[in-house]
Chain A
Amino acid sequence: MQALLQFFASLRLTVILLALSMVLIFFGTLAQVETGIWKTQKDYFESVLAIWAYPEAWIAYDQLYWLRIPMPGGYLLGGMLLINLVAAHVTRFTLTAKKAGIFLIHIGLILLLISELLTDVLSEESQMPVDEGASSNYSQEYRDNELVLIDRMHADFDTVHSIPIALLKPGKTVAVPESPLTIRTISYYPNAQIGRAQEGAAPVESPANQGVAVKMNVVVTPSAVTYAENQINTATAYVEVLGPEGSLGIWLVSNVIDDRFPPQMVTLGEQSWEIVLRLKRHYYPFEVELVDFSHEKYPGTEIPFNYSSEVMVRHSDTTKNQKALIYMNHPLRYEGLTFYQASFANDDRTSIFQVVRNPGWILPYVSVLLMGVGMLVQFGMHFFKFLKKRASV
């Protein structure tokens, strides 16, 4: 036990871990060229083990295609660094006034490592596109989908029954909460081409007997998942809806079969639901109205100089109404969310906000503050000691 603690507390381990971190960052940067930032982050930094493969675009790929370099991933390195620092504290450090500065710096560092992990795990990012003059009360993710059944029977509100896409596993059933329905997944495709039957394509045989698939003769050709930053995977599934007395039919659902198509309705007796597979939505108790979007360019060019959105936030609790101007590096923080100006579309008539919920957003600030104070204390102490020594000479 003592030996184990000694190992985890050793400074040698710290140096090795930091060196490996540099290796990871180097190969992660190379990989980013191939797979884009999102997948690289998942593969290299939010993982325990990362494996670098010789890129296809490099010379001599035909000879070196087999080359793979495994390396510890971000979670392993970060976790080990955290253990290392904590173990060092337990075995070697005793808190004395003399070492208070170093102690603060270390606490700050530990907090920084933890906050990074919390951000990875807890933060949610989504997008809210709003047209000029219109408003929106939800944002949508662009990598995660949900299967929803929407009950529009009530005059005052709609009821949304949402099933996370991760639960759509072929052959498995999921009960739809607060409804008499059950969903049985026939098949699920993370990305697919959807269209009318065409020559040359090899669509999967359609088991559907209801909705768009039958009416419009739409077929599915599965395709590879894309990680490109400006592309969205066409998540698609064949699902069977079961009522208390058995099957109500099999529908084709996909995040491209949206409002531009006639609604796909599931009917059971007097009740009916619209069935939709869509990008996962987050609804809010407030609406963001885009009053004005302005997009200034450098004169005579198409290069953006500045773009900004004037918004009015209307909360169901009107005391929380707020006006704001959102532009580069000047987000709106509201109700635990941060709205960043992310993009625009539709000939400058639509503004797109990045909506981030990060419960741990304050931690990096605290940790940097702690480290700053720690350094001040530590160097200040040395400085005053030096001054005292000089005065006494």
Chain B
Amino acid sequence: MISRIHYPFLQCLPLLVASIAAICLTACDQAQPVSYQIPKEERADTIPTVAAATTQETSAPSKMNVLPGMQQAANAAGEVDFITPDGWENLVASGIRKANLKVTADTGSAEITILTFPGDVGGHLANINRWRGQVGLEAATVEDLPTYTTDYDISGHRGLYVRLEGESQSILGALLPFHGSTWFVKMLGDTTTVLANEASMKQFLDSIQLEDHAH
């Protein structure tokens, strides 16, 4: 014989559980700004290199592309070899930069970078005008090009040497179409320093050797 027992508490249990859940949910409000301390981080070194976007498609989402396509292109491009001119400092190249150098003088400093991108990146005129903008010069037309560019051979390929003299900042650079991509070598910085290093820049350009799979 089964007796009928009443458990008032148990009877209410489902109701109780449901109301606790409801309270939990309403307690969650929107995230607020916070401050916290973390162990000293060395910038750039602590981030695992999973950022290299070449693995992006095969792996789960882990890191996004840097300026879409740029990082892949930089990774896919071959390596570059060069001799650092006297007085120049060879810094660590990172990200999309293939090389990163610096020259410091009393008059000011200048930075020398090597980058590469697929295609012609808009063509010589567009790129030179971009550089002109960086040193405060107005955009030029295609007719003006010969006044500040000359043909220049780098790593056995015909490139273009560019000389842009701005008021406080100047650029000495080279554009090199190379098997479907374009290499950019650029010294940007204080006008006096940049112009004083023109011989070193040409020496640097002459020393550049690009990894060449096409020959």
Contacts and interface: CB of A to CB of B under 8 A. Distances in A.
Interface of A: 82-83, 85-86, 89-90, 93-98, 103, 106-107, 110-111, 114, 117-118, 121-122, 127, 129-131, 134, 136-138, 142, 152, 155-164, 166-167, 174-179, 193-199, 217-218, 229-234, 255-256, 258-261, 263, 274, 279, 283, 342-346, 350, 352, 354
Given A89-B11, A110-B14, A350 B50 contact: yes
Nearest to B70: A195
Nearest to B39: A157
Contact of B36 (A83, A106, A217, A283): A283
Contact of B61 (A98, A127, A260): A127
Contacts of A131: 48-50
Given A94-B11, A103-B10, A232-B63, A164 B32 contact: yes
A260 B14 contact: no
Given A103-B10, A130-B48, A159 B134 contact: no
Contacts of B6: 94-95
A35 to B, nearest CB: 16
Contacts of B35: 159-162, 177-179
A160 B57 CA distance: 31
B122 A234 contact: no
A49 B207 CA distance: 67
Contacts of B70: 195
Contacts of B58: 345
Contacts of B7: 95
B61 A232 contact: yes
The SS class assigned to the B binding surface is: loop
Contacts of A107: 13-14, 17
Contacts of A344: 59
A156 B50 CA distance: 27
25 contacts: A95-B10, A97-B3, A103-B10, A107-B17, A121-B24, A121-B25, A122-B24, A127-B60, A129-B48, A129-B63, A142-B62, A158-B38, A159-B38, A160-B38, A161-B34, A163-B33, A164-B30, A174-B33, A229-B61, A259-B43, A259-B94, A260-B44, A260-B96, A350-B50, A354-B60
Nearest to A150: B41
Given A89-B11, A127-B60, A142-B62, A159 B37 contact: yes
A120 B24 CA distance: 12
Contacts of B66: 256, 258, 260
A230 B25 CA distance: 30
B11 A343 contact: no
Contacts of A195: 67-68, 70
B28 A162 contact: no
Given A94-B4, A114-B18, A114-B21, A345 B33 contact: no
B50 A111 contact: no
Highest count of chain B CB atoms <10 Å: which of A129, A159, A161, A283: A129
A157 B39 CA distance: 5
Nearest to B46: A136
A152 B18 CA distance: 47
B95 interface: yes
Given A158-B41, A162-B35, A86 B96 contact: no
B39 A122 contact: no
B14 to A, nearest CB: 5
B10 A158 contact: no
Given A82-B18, A164-B31, A166-B30, A231 B39 contact: no
Contact of A117 (B21, B38, B133): B21
Given A96-B5, A114-B21, A345-B55, A160 B62 contact: no
A114 B17 contact: yes
Contacts of A346: 49-50, 52, 55
A359 B60 CA distance: 24
Nearest to A175: B33
Query: 3 closest pairs, A vs B, by CB?
Result: A260-B95, A345-B55, A164-B31
